[in-house]
């Protein structure tokens, strides 16, 4: 807090003078916008992203569900929490999180609560990820077929404190996992 003011991100209604679709992708697009800003104009290219939802699923022993899958841009099989795009019309972020937990880990949860929402890379894309804490886990009624990067997903359960330690040791660097396990740890502590 600065003085009596609570600091928060502020919306800016900058006039977009011109917007070009530079590249139309299968999942997201690249745009180039000319924006009136201050006394001039700026041009910015960015990834136009549909957003995503992610799940920090904790079992009765406070172990977090981690999945590992191949991510081509970083050439790693990184550790993540279940997550997916907000790409189904009419589906809320919570419904997306529920769907992704079932699709990626064949699990459902009896309790859900919002953890935090984050902009992943605000200088390069408009993606927002909504993270949820899921508890009361049980097997889904159906096992989901997986393809592409999801075909060889590896699932592990790790004590939440160990996942936090792995983040600080630099062994797990996925931003959504990092945000999720730190937020869940704080939620449980508080």
What residues are labeled active site?
150
Nearest CA to 183 out of 57, 35, 56 is that of 56
Alpha-carbon gap, residue 53 to 128, rounded angstroms: 8
Alpha-carbon gap, residue 112 to 57, rounded angstroms: 9
Biggest distance spanned by C-alpha atoms of the chain:
58
**Residue 101 near residue 114, CB atoms below 8 Å:** no
The angle subtended at Cα 102 by Cα 100 and Cα 104, nearest 5°, is 60
**Residue 130 near residue 117, CB atoms below 8 Å:** yes
In terms of DSSP H, where are the helices of the chain?
93-105, 160-169, 175-189
The phi and psi torsions of 98 (rounded to 5 degrees) equal -65, -45
Tokens of 185: 């740890």
């Amino acid at each position: 807090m600065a003085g009596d003011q609570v600091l928060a991100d502020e919306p800016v209604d900058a006039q977009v003078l011109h917007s070009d679709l530079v590249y139309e992708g299968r999942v997201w697009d690249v745009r180039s916008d000319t924006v009136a800003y201050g006394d001039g104009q700026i041009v910015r290219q960015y990834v136009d992203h549909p957003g995503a939802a992610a799940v920090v699923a904790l079992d009765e022993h406070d172990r977090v569900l981690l999945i590992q899958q191949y991510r081509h841009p970083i050439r790693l099989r990184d550790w993540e929490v279940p997550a997916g795009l907000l790409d189904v019309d009419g589906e809320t972020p919570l419904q997306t999180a529920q769907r992704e937990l079932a699709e990626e880990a064949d699990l459902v949860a009896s309790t859900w609560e919002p953890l935090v929402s984050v902009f992943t890379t605000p200088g390069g894309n408009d993606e927002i990820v909504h993270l949820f804490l899921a508890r009361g886990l049980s097997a889904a009624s159906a096992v989901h077929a997986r393809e592409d990067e999801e075909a060889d997903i590896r699932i592990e359960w790790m004590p939440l404190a160990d996942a936090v330690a792995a983040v600080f040791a630099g062994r797990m660097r996925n931003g959504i996992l990092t945000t999720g396990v730190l937020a869940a740890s704080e939620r449980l502590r508080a």
